[in-house]
Amino acid sequence: MVNVFKTFLLLAALTALFMFIGEALGGRTGMIMALMLAMVMNFFAYWFSDKMALAMSGATPVSEAEAPELHQMVEILSQKAGIPKPKVYIIPQETPNAFATGRNPNHAAVAVTAGIMRILSKEELMGVLSHELAHIKNRDILISSIAAVLAGAISYLANMAQWGLMFGGLGGSDDEDGNPLGIIGVIIMMILAPIAAMLIQMAISRSREYLADATGARILGDPVPLASALKRLEEWNHRLPMAVNPATAQMYIVNPLRSGNIMHLFSTHPPIEERIKKLLSMK
């Protein structure tokens, strides 16, 4: 419940930030235009997110005959989670990792790398699959899409303000008083607003990872296999980062990219140590 409430507060903060910045920088008309554009763009991203993610990862579907044990695990865990069995894909990479995608539980897919099935034990792999099914059960693709809509709209408003300043046509409100922030305030807002939106969006992503860990542990009935898997996956992904599109990195159970120089606040994934600690506290 803590992570659900945290996600709600972060989405509310993102909404409030968008409304304030939209009114200040673009007026009501600019605010509505930005939101509509972001909604259209993210509607298509949300609707086709599974196909795009699977294509970018190079994942290919596998039948029950090709991967019977993997399909059996997904089937059993799906029943425990109370959701339809998702489609199963394998990514032809040796680095162990996995992700889930799909706009809702009836249109979902789970993808695992070839390496994860060789490196993890059966129990650890069950823990990973439970985490991914938790993302589907919790409708995290929808939550991420809503956050992306608002963050995208805020960035669009900042761009509008930049062009408005360049051509001297920026009006910060719908009345005749001009922009209430003043020229310096507008410039500061143009710089800080997209950063603030991205920070909140990343915080939402981290919150959903914690929630998926907890939900996955409850689906499996034991938090230890997932905690053990996370430790091993983190070690492998540090040693052998995956060649993935950075835009899809947030979907994976652990960050597939080198992240040693990235500040925690800008990370889409919580620290592995914290995730393991929270999982083991559930025993």
> Among all residues, which ones are annotated catalytic?
132
Q: Which residues pair with 102 in a beta bridge?
A: 108
- Candidates 277, 257, 276; CA nearest to 267 is 257
- Candidates 135, 107, 94, 82; CA nearest to 250 is 135
Quote the tokens at residue 177: 């008083």
Q: Centre a 10 Å sphere on the Cβ of residue 37 and count the other Cβ atoms it contains.
A: 14
Question: For the residues of 208-233, what is the DSSP string, one character each?
Answer: HHHHHHHHHHHHHT-SHHHHHHHHHH
Was 131 annotated as part of a binding site? yes
**DSSP symbol at 23:** I
Was 209 annotated as part of a binding site? yes
- Where are the strands (E) in 24-78, listed by range? 60-61
Give the whole-angstrom CA distance, residue 168 versus residue 162.
10
Q: Which residues pair with 177 in a beta bridge?
A: none
Was 135 annotated as part of a binding site? yes
Q: What angle do CA 35, 38, 43 make, to 5 degrees?
A: 120
Angle between helices 122-137 and 140-167 (to 10 degrees): 60
